[in-house]
Amino acid sequence: MKQKYLNRLNVSSDIREILENNHVILPESRQELLDLTFQGRPDEFEVSYDIPGKGKYVEARVTRCKNGASVNYTEAYMRRRDPNAMLIADEKPTDKETYSQRYGTSFDPTRTETMDWFNSLGEVVVLPFLSGNDRFSGYPSLLIAPSNAGFFVTGLADLQGFIPASQIPEDFSPRAVLYVAPPFRHTHFDGKQVVVHNRTDELHELFCYNLYPGPSAKKGVYGVLLTIGEEEHWTTLHSSAVRLVTPYDNEFVILHEGASGGGKSEMTQAIHRESDGRILMAKNTVTKDDFYLELHDTCDLHPIADDMAIAHHAENGKLIISDAENGWFLRVDHLNEYGKEPYIEKLCIDPPEPLIYLNIDGKPGATALIWEHTMDEPGKPCPNPRVIMPRKFVDNTVEGKVSVDVRSFGVRTPPATREKPSYGIIGMMHILPPALGWLWRLVAPRGHANPSIVATKGLSSEGVGSYWPFATGKRVNQANILLDVTRNTPETDHILIPNQYIGAYHVGFKAEWIVREYVARRGSVKFREGQLVESRCPLLGYTLPNLRVNGQTIPHTLLHVQDQTEVGKEGYDAGAKILGDFFKQELEQYLTPELDPMGRKIIELVMNDAGLEELVSVMEN
């Protein structure tokens, strides 16, 4: 019966050969995908492969829990994304490392071996879906995987959506294909996560040589969208978005961008409270003093996107976006005990349908609990526990295209003191002129103690748009696209928000949540002349002389870090120099002939230590 549906696929001869040489599983329902995930086992299933010279190698264990599949990798390394996973196989323009640069040879022989491996499997899963999560303008795509990797297939189906076998349209012509071939991690790539992009004129091929979905099913598909966007001059922003409905029934939309760990998922989450209902806003790491807020009547949250938002166009001077995904890759490292986030906990404990949990210590037949994280080693929990959550399971999600009022940018900051200065000098909220909004998206600090990826030390950049690790082309092209997005949406304002630390104060994501409440209740971040003060560091734009939320005054020193006793002007200026040097180091690479002339002018201002007034006026002229 399903053969007639397979015949609807208009695919290359390579793919047709795989379909002809294997029994093909073409899923019709999510339940069929879940059955594939558990492979008929009542308790636990090992995803393993025969590796020449190693014998049977277990990649992951899939445990059947009451509320879904708990997937645990046998290596701690495989429990988060390796930022160096991406390689480019083709000869099209790119600033990324190519396969031949890393391995000294063409990808063609490995591609041939991969196809031979697929042809020898005997059974494969084929999953049609639309990259971009839009049934009208999404891009036809295909996943091909070994049948024992059912959890991976289900995870991708939840993240990207899928087209049931009977609903595949006639002449379904994939723009992208993902090939999942886990054994090659061991036979060809020394155990490393490797995802190879091969961009042909007809097809974007994605060879996924690992079973952690981060660099492939998640960010690999993101790379497909960025590649198409670079060709067509649009982009997919690395962002979450939420529509806030205030206690006064006003609506306000915030788009929150930033590197991994920059607070994107948190922007759509409720404020975390103490047992008595108060909000622990900040804790001084030196004096141990605490500052609490009481905020009982908060905004209703209507999530729009969790990590990827397609930036469609401008309308009435504002940015128009829509969610690029069908499900969300929720990190739950901050949930380490019961009661921290009741809504998410309830949704994960008793979901409408079973879920896919990664790096959660689930037991056969029991309920997987999202605060019981898998241990990387004794006493050290994995910092990247995840739940794949179909967006249709989340209440009040917003469908379709949405107009954005404010674009915020999140930075994961370390503590800063006079004795140990750092870039953690960012106050609770900074209002940025458009030029600075664009610049922050070029330098995109990866930030302090990032839990999402294999560790890097010090201040580093996630690259243009904070999505550069997933892009395949030229960084200057992405910079130009982002500049156009900013230039064409003057009515969408820009703010900067830190998380984790503000100077000597630990704030976690509280600053982000309180700022969210403030700007939504206020209705904009447009201020009259004289209401704002220039930040001591020009790269931080403007700040408020004071800030009141629900009648409560936020401590002045959370807005003006130089006035913290533990930091002072000396510590602040040392941190500002760290930040300034970082900007200059990262911006240098964009000064190429292809850069938009206005972009060149903005970057040269920073290189020449221009003041804030010049950075404000450059996009007004």
Contacts of 20 (CB under 8 A, 6+ apart): none
Would you say residue 457 has pLDDT above 60?
no
The pLDDT value given to residue 458:
67
Residue 348: its pLDDT value, please? Answer: 97
User: Given a cut of 90, is residue 24 above it in pLDDT?
Assistant: yes
pLDDT (tens digit per residue) in 339-398: 888 899 999 999 999 999 999 999 999 999 999 999 999 999 999 999 999 999 999 999
What is the model's pLDDT at position 137? 76
**By the 8 A CB rule, do 518 and 431 touch?**
no
Q: Which amino acid is residue 322, in one-letter code?
A: S
Higher confidence at residue 346 or residue 333?
346
Q: How far is CA 525 from CA 177, 222, 429, 522, in A?
A: 43, 31, 10, 8
Mean pLDDT of 9-18: 96
Confidence of residue 620 (pLDDT cuts 50, 70, 90): confident
Tell me the average pLDDT across 275-279.
91
Q: Which domains does the chain have, with CATH numbers?
A: 3-62+81-232 (3.40.449.10), 236-326+398-452+492-591 (3.90.228.20), 331-390 (no CATH)
Q: Is the pLDDT of residue 410 over 80?
A: yes
The mean per-residue pLDDT over the stretch 77-90 comes to 95
Q: What is the pLDDT of residue 322?
A: 95
Name the residue with tokens 């395949």.
472
- pLDDT bin (cut points 50, 70, 90) of residue 621 is low
Q: How many beta carbons lie within 10 A of that of residue 569, not counting itself?
A: 13
User: Could you count the other beta carbons within 10 Å of the beta carbon of residue 334?
Assistant: 16
Least confident of 10-14, 271-275, 590-594, 605-609: 271-275
293 strand-pairing partners:
279
Contacts of 30 (CB under 8 A, 6+ apart): 154, 157, 158, 353
Q: CA-CA distance, 525 to 544, in Å (whole number)?
A: 11
Per-residue pLDDT for 448 more than 50? yes
pLDDT at 456 over 50: no
Residue 454 has pLDDT above 50, yes or no: no
Residues 72-91 have a mean pLDDT of: 95
pLDDT of residue 550: 86
**For 228-268, how does the pLDDT look when each residue is reduced to its tens digit (9 = 90+)?**
999 999 999 999 999 999 999 999 999 999 988 899 989 99
Q: So what's the pLDDT on residue 396?
A: 95
Closest among 417, 276, 261, 404 to 333, alpha carbons compared: 261
Most confident of 20-24, 137-141, 442-446: 20-24
Listed in order, strand segments (DSSP E) in 147-297 are: 176-180, 195-199, 204-208, 235-245, 251-258, 279-284, 290-293
Structure confidence at residue 450 (pLDDT)? 58
Residues forming a β-bridge with 115: none
At 449, the pLDDT band (50, 70, 90 cuts) reads low
Output the pLDDT for position 312. Answer: 83
551 pLDDT more than 80: yes
Mean pLDDT of 260-282: 91
Q: Compute how many other C-beta atoms are within 10 angstroms of the C-beta atom of residue 174.
A: 23
